[in-house]
Structure 1
Amino acid sequence: MRRERNFGLDLVRAIAITLVVLSHATFFFVQDSENLIVVLIRTMGAVGVDLFFVLSGFLIGGILLKEIEQKRTKFSNLLTFWKRRWWRTLPNYFLILLINIGILYVFSKDLPDTIGSYFVFLQNFSDPQSEFFTESWSLSIEEYAYLILPFLLFCGFFVFKDRENSVFLWATLAVILMGFLLKIQFYMNTDSLSQKNWSSMFRKVVIYRLDAIYIGFLLVYLMRHWPDFFQRFKLGFLLLGGSVFAATHLLIYIANIQPETHLYFFVFMYLPLISMSCGLLFPYAIGMKRSGTFNGLIYFVSTRSYAIYLVNFSAILLCFYYFVDLNSASLMMKIGLCTIYLLLTLSISNLVYTYFEKPILNYRDRKLR
């Protein structure tokens, strides 16, 4: 199974989840902070999620293009695609959702009034979600991305027979355009936002973020149709992506660009620039060879990344707050607790992957080839 995986994409996945977990680890030391190092680490954690989005779009778009190549463009094929996605994403999600509900019950905390919406991924569809199970916001975006564009694609395949590749491109561009129009509506009806409010009201809301995944669709389409071009200039794309990423954040720092003063930048420019700079890494990453030294570690982290993402914050980190007053804890105690947090995250996610996620995926692969 390990030989079937792409090492470069596994590395991307491992980097993304590492950025997320390290950003969460800073909460053992400070809550809200303007310290440059803390802000940088937490910014990179947010970038890790965007990297996941582009990677998901790249992989799912590749699966759909393979369906097109093999002439599997009937609605029965769409249903099989959805079933495979749901077997991949839903069991882990519902398991950790129930665990989070149980944690609140044990510590006599009230469930949010919107708890029912979490079972149908509506907790952040068009409005900010509650503070409960906060990391679930990205799962809602991914689930609707898997529903909306693939459905439109297969409708297009039915209408425009023998033009499936054109349908894939134009439907993707059309949905991205629809998202842009929704962003215009958001911008026109919003006066000013703090960084935190921008994140909850815009960055983590489904209808404004689907384009992050669909950029991955466009990328895999372009790389499939012009493979020689992307292979030839893969290092150039890597350097360009890194330059765009660095220049964007350097501009924000030097010019002190904030949502309160430059809302248009954070609505229309910042997130697409981050997604595109992440995407430019893929032509280089996809051709990377395995590393004998770190291959096992990268494989371990990559395969357990979904479980790590779901368990690390709400199910593990926040539990420390019920037992320890971190504000009054010594530095050595905070370091010790952070170390325990990292070990628990790896151990519990490994248990979830080994005894829950992997058996379900094996069952899926037997039933839905």
Structure 2
Amino acid sequence: MNTLETQNTTRIFGLDVIRALAILLVLFSHVYYLIDSSNPLVISLSGLSGFAGVELFFVLSGYLIGSILLRQYVADDFSLRSVFVFLKRRWFRTLPNYYLILFVNLGIAFLLGYPSQYWYKYFFFFQNFKTYSIGFFSESWSLSVEEWTYLMLPFSLFFALKFGNQLSKKWSFLSTILLLIILAHILRYFNMKNNDISTMEIWNTNLKSVVIYRFDTILYGVLLAWLHQFYSHFLDKYKVYFLILAAHLFVLQFVILNVLGVDIISCPVYFLVFYFTLSSMIFFLTLPYFIFWKTSESVFSKRITFISKTSYAVYLIHYSIVVVLFKYLLNQLFFQLPTSLILFVYLGITFSLSYILYRFYEKPIMNLRDEN
């Protein structure tokens, strides 16, 4: 998963904490598979951590790109040239890493015999645009959601400004974001009416991982960017209360509702239309506390910043390359390695390869982008 860098040299430590937390949650989500755990609690926590990590990335990414777009939208004429400059910078950030790892995954799919009949869709992020056609490189579903949202959002803002000039730029921006969020809910509602999604397995592939039903998650971060731009004092004043409310909503959604037996059969409207609304709001309310956490002198701050900087590379590498190949090798052994050693190797290889990708490929491309 990636998030857009701020366009200045000052890092906000709180956002590094969020990136680091998100990628660590994603890394943990595959541990049960590596160690062959059948413990239902471990499996449940793994699923929750993976979901929370990706959703947190989505909202954070929306906040960062929303901040950049909003500055351009308010300050400039926001022409088509503005849109294409934004997209060019965004694609420099995301596509080189993605296509490199895509080719690696194509090789792995060929060697291990994974389904790859839809390989061509990955090059245009169509592998889960309207239907789920992912047979390998499974984590790419979230990258498709991001890329299509990055494409849709600036063009929507451009047309809103062109044809809705009776509104000020401040309210035109907000109206566009809210209308797109409503559109996502409408699409999910019609999907519920026209498709039989009666199990969580179908829910996972036919709803959770499909672009046209998920782009609004990123837009909640864009909405937060709007609030931060125009009502920063309000966010700063109540950030602790928002964090407390987010914690309570987290417990409500992922603990209390489960204990009460709320499921996809008994409450289909919630699971098929509003489940992602609630989870997005949780992370929307979480972020303000971290937005205002500018610096840290903690002994762990450098480690957190390192994890944050390499988080995109980690996301791309950790599962379809490291976990899949490591699991394949473990299955060839005639003896079982200790769990602690498996975890040590998993994390060590993941962060080592991610650092190499970041240091010698991702960072030089970003430097080239900024120089030009």
The two structures have a TM-score, normalised by structure 1, of 0.93
Is 1:13 the equivalent of 2:19? yes
User: Aligned-pair distance for 1:111?
Assistant: 4.8
Q: Which of 292, 295, 304 is the matching residue for 2:298?
A: 292
Q: Which of 145, 149, 157 is the matching residue for 1:153?
A: 157
2:114–2:136 Cα contact (<8 Å) kept: no
Q: What SS does the corresponding residue of 2:338 show, helix, strand or coil?
A: helix
Q: Go from structure 1 to structure 2 and tell me whether the alpha carbon gap of 1:194 and 1:111 turns closer, same or farther (over 3 Å shift).
A: closer
Query: Residue in 1 aligned with 2:223?
Result: 218
Q: Which of 159, 165, 173 is the matching residue for 2:178?
A: 173
Matches of 1:327 and 1:201 in 2, distance apart? 36
Query: Residue in 2 aligned with 1:306?
Result: 312
User: Aligned-pair distance for 1:327?
Assistant: 11
1:192–1:260 Cα contact (<8 Å) kept: no
2:32–2:42 Cα contact (<8 Å) kept: no
1:101–1:111 Cα contact (<8 Å) kept: no
Matches of 1:130 and 1:141 in 2, distance apart? 13
Q: Which of 347, 350, 354 is the matching residue for 2:352?
A: 347
Residue type at the aligned position of 1:308: V
User: Aligned-pair distance for 1:326?
Assistant: 8.3
Query: Residue in 2 aligned with 1:255?
Result: 260
Query: Residue in 2 aligned with 1:142?
Result: 146
Query: Residue in 2 aligned with 1:4?
Result: 10
Matches of 1:142 and 1:203 in 2, distance apart? 14
User: Aligned-pair distance for 1:157?
Assistant: 2.0
1:28–1:326 Cα contact (<8 Å) kept: no
Q: Go from structure 1 to structure 2 and tell me whether the alpha carbon gap of 1:269 and 1:26 turns closer, same or farther (over 3 Å shift).
A: same
Q: What is the correspondence of 1:22-41 to structure 2 with a 5 Å cutoff? A: 22-30=28-36, 33=38, 35-41=40-46
Query: Residue in 1 aligned with 2:59?
Result: 54
- Count of aligned pairs between the two proteins: 364
Query: Residue in 1 aligned with 2:249?
Result: 244
Matches of 1:227 and 1:326 in 2, distance apart? 56
Q: Which of 221, 226, 232 is the matching residue for 1:227?
A: 232
1:169–1:221 Cα contact (<8 Å) kept: yes
User: Aligned-pair distance for 1:78?
Assistant: 0.8
Matches of 1:166 and 1:351 in 2, distance apart? 44
Q: Aligned residues: percent identity?
A: 36
Matches of 2:328 and 2:41 in 1, distance apart? 28
Q: What is the correspondence of 1:310-349 to structure 2 with a 5 Å cutoff? A: 310-325=316-331, 330=336, 332-349=337-354
1:50–1:274 Cα contact (<8 Å) kept: yes
Matches of 1:326 and 1:14 in 2, distance apart? 33
Q: Which 5+ residue runs of structure 1 have no aligned equivalent?
A: none
After superposition, the CA RMSD in angstroms is: 2.0
Deviation per residue, 1:72-102 (Å, 9 max, x gap)? 4111111100000000000000010000112
Deviation per residue, 1:17-37 (Å, 9 max, x gap)? 000001112211236x56123
Query: Residue in 2 aligned with 1:124?
Result: 128
Deviation per residue, 1:112-145 (Å, 9 max, x gap)? 2111000000000011132310000000000010
Residue type at the aligned position of 1:228: H
Matches of 2:131 and 2:270 in 1, distance apart? 21
Matches of 2:345 and 2:215 in 1, distance apart? 35
Q: Which 5+ residue runs of structure 2 have no aligned equivalent?
A: 1-6
Deviation per residue, 1:216-241 (Å, 9 max, x gap)? 11111122211111111111011011
Query: Residue in 1 aligned with 2:94?
Result: 89
Q: Is the deviation greater in 277-286 or in 133-142?
A: 277-286
Matches of 1:87 and 1:192 in 2, distance apart? 37
User: Aligned-pair distance for 1:258?
Assistant: 2.6
Q: What SS does the corresponding residue of 2:30 show, helix, strand or coil?
A: helix
User: Aligned-pair distance for 1:333?
Assistant: 3.3
Q: Is the deviation greater in 224-233 or in 137-146?
A: 224-233
Matches of 2:173 and 2:36 in 1, distance apart? 46
Q: What SS does the corresponding residue of 1:280 show, helix, strand or coil?
A: helix
User: Aligned-pair distance for 1:110?
Assistant: 5.2
The two structures have a TM-score, normalised by structure 2, of 0.93
User: Aligned-pair distance for 1:11?
Assistant: 0.6
1:195–1:258 Cα contact (<8 Å) kept: no
Q: Which of 33, 48, 51 is the matching residue for 1:43?
A: 48
Q: Go from structure 1 to structure 2 and tell me whether the alpha carbon gap of 1:2 and 1:219 turns closer, same or farther (over 3 Å shift).
A: closer
Matches of 1:34 and 1:276 in 2, distance apart? 30
Q: What SS does the corresponding residue of 1:122 show, helix, strand or coil?
A: coil
2:109–2:116 Cα contact (<8 Å) kept: no
Query: Residue in 2 aligned with 1:65?
Result: 70
Matches of 1:203 and 1:326 in 2, distance apart? 34
Q: Which of 277, 286, 294 is the matching residue for 2:282?
A: 277
User: Aligned-pair distance for 1:180?
Assistant: 1.0
Residue type at the aligned position of 1:127: T
Query: Residue in 2 aligned with 1:183?
Result: 188
Query: Residue in 1 aligned with 2:364?
Result: 359
